[in-house]
Chains A and B, each alone.
Chain A
Amino acid sequence: MIAESLEELGLTKQTVFVSPVGCSVFGYYYFDCGNFQAAHGRAPAVATAVKRTNPEAIVISYQGDGDLAAIGTAETIHAANRGENITVFFVNNAIYGMTGGQMAPTTMIGQRSATTPGGRVEDLHGNPIRMAEMLATLPAPTYIERVAIGHSKHIMKARKAIKKALQIQKEGKGYSFVEIVSACPTGWKMDPVHARDWLVDDMLKVFPLGVFKDESDIRDEGDWDRHYEDFDTAKVNSYLDRMKSAVGEIEPKELPFDLNCKFAGFGGQGILTLGLFLSQIGMKAGQNVSWFPAYGPEMRGGTANCSVNLAKDRIGTPLVDHPNVLVVMNQPSLDAFEKDVVDGGTIIVDTTVVEGKADRGRLNVVEIPASDIADEVGTAKVANVVVLGALVAATDAFTPEFCEDTLRAIIKKKSLIDMNMEAFRRGYDYVRKS
């Protein structure tokens, strides 16, 4: 009936038929179209991807009950919930046929199977799941119907539903789902006549036939088509080109020495941003640069810290264990990291916040009331830029003008530029004059 509908609608050659594990696995023997064999339960995920990558394709996911309602429940529900413009045919025969007649999620109460030898009971095995009813509660699906193939009247209705479901997909109207209650005489261990009677008399009591949702009339053609474009190198290149850094052209500068910096303080003091600013200044200066935020076990004691390396040659470890420049913007950071600074290294201390004293005998100690200066400039938020000015002055790594040009280019909020320029210059001058 599916093949007939595809032929009648003229869709065969653009159809992709996805058949997962179970009786449906041999779908490709019978359907003269493009075929995917999928893992157990995953057909709706495969079908989703096929449809998204070629919205012109007609994509069918053909699944049994174990596949659709047990191992693939998540894929089933979420493809429906996204309103994928695909068609799912769900063959419900209340048993796992291919694997040897075990209980399916749709197995009836009392029904015997290889894994319910005494019959399915509610309090041990749960009840048969009604997928059509469940999916009909979702807003996205367009069409959900349950049909059967017990007798010729059923079959005529089933044929109509199958064709309608495919028509909905062809028109881009969204997700369509047809559950087909079917017999499995082998799995049920019945002769075909008894199997048919059991289907009609027993199964349909649990799985009533009917349309559970149909919005095909109120949805417009193409509403559920998703946009997709093939790879276009020109378009990608123009897009990638726009990613280039705001720092502009590289202006190579000599560093007096490689900078291996650690910046540490409380979260919210702009520690990570301080690292990013210095990194981008280093980038513009043609240096190799690495920035690494405190991460995992490094992030302890309620402090934020980051490592920044600026080097002429290749940067080895991005983790700075032994900095030659340490910035501390709170007391715990001074306590934790001062001992790690290399002999003769520089430590910059925000004395507004930090009460302790660093070892002047071993280190080049730069004390600056950065947070106070920032308040004078207008906001405590620029204390990190005051510190940056101090760092540049203390290390002579760059000229202040070079840093200011770079900052001007990379600070996104243009209204904040003046305040940052003043903060930088105040920090720089404070160190130069002291």
Chain B
Amino acid sequence: MARQFMKGNDAIIVGALAAGCRAYYGYPITPASEIAHAAAQHFPALGGVFIQAESEVSAINMVYGTAGMGVRTMTASSSPGFSLKQEGLSYCAGAELPCVVVNIVRGGPGLGNIAPEQADYFQITKGGGHGNYRLITLAPNGAQEMCDLTMLAFDLADTYRNPACIMADGITGQMMEVVEIPEAKPVPFDHSSWEVRGTPESSGNLISSIVLEPDELERHNLKMDAKYRDIMAKEVRCEEYRTEDADLVVVAYGVVSRIVYSAVDEARAEGLKVGLLRPITLWPFPSAAIARLAETAQRFLAVELSTGQMVEDVQLAVNGRAPVHFYGRCGGMVPGGKELLAEFKKVLEGGQS
């Protein structure tokens, strides 16, 4: 098994290549640019496509074009750029096109800064574009997962004919870890019933998101809704760390979950029963796992690099059975382990929620 020491951002492209992604369209933005750099190096070398588009808007519409041909394709950006992609994402979802989009989230709102945040949670998981749609959203917390979850994102996108998103942060993108390089396998999906390839076989197919008749558009939306319910039933992924007997369950994802692993260990060393629930899929959200823990845990604490976004989903899942507290840093400030440990103690002593 080949191993390499690489940046999380580079690992995304390794995963994409192994997953059979053939075209990358992107626009430079810090701290996501390494993804485009790696794509520019590797895609043409393998006979694939790399285009530095004239804009984020153009990049996502190029994704729309290649995805409509039944070919695996992706784009990546960071917060302000990801905002610009929302229209195109809505079209991809409406036309039911599988594709992968990456958001290496930075500080906002507006131009913000290039430091890590998680404040695009609402935009990504609740639908930043117009209309009824959802993004399947995966939140890696290390370089290996940047690779592996990108591969999974392509499979989920194809399984459900829907865009899938990798939501990471500046730290997960910039840090280097050892990555086991995966093996490329054939893509086991048949798109012949809908793809438009410019071939006699696909002639007559149509890629479109326009449905003019209200009754037909309602049917289309309900069909998509059924698909989304299916995804919610089948595709939830999360990790639990020392939650079995936890009085306090911390909910955190991405780089924050990495800090929480350490803080949980420190808390346990002091005899505090603290555990971590880490959502790996942010949509669908692991509500059932949280609801189950709410039967035994006394308190929940959502920790985010935002002023409080995912905490609302935790509250919905807990549904009043236990207090849900929130601790967040933003603007690029990242909490340290000691800071979190102090917060755990405060919450366990019955601090304000």
Contact = CB atoms under 8 A, between A and B. Distances in A.
B206 to A, nearest CB: 5
A200 interface: no
Contacts of A39: 61, 64, 87-88, 91
B23 A53 contact: yes
Nearest to A299: B115
Given A56-B198, A229-B47, A78 B58 contact: yes
Interface residues of B, number: 89
Given A45-B53, A283-B178, A292-B176, A229 B46 contact: yes
A272 B88 CA distance: 39
A321 B66 CA distance: 45
Interface in B255-308: 255, 258-263, 265
B4 A13 contact: no
A38 interface: yes
A276 interface: yes
A414 interface: no
Given A42-B61, A240-B2, A32 B20 contact: no
B221 interface: no
Contacts of B113: 296
A312 to B, nearest CB: 13
A290 B184 contact: no
A30 interface: no
A52 B44 CA distance: 11
A228 B95 CA distance: 25
Given A16-B198, A231-B72, A231-B187, A280 B5 contact: yes
B69 A50 contact: yes
Contacts of A314: 261
Nearest to A321: B336
Interface size class of A (residues with CB under 8 A): 35 or more
Nearest to B199: A14
B47 A233 contact: no
Interface stretch (A141-149, A205-213, A241-249): A241-249
B123 interface: no
Contact of B71 (A35, A53, A276): A53
Interface stretch (B155-163, B167-175, B229-237, B313-321): B167-175
Contact of A233 (B55, B91, B184): B184
A295 B171 contact: yes
Nearest to A292: B175
B55 A74 contact: yes
A47 interface: yes
Given A35-B208, A288-B178, 6 more contacts: A39-B61, A235-B46, A237-B184, A289-B5, A289-B178, A295-B116
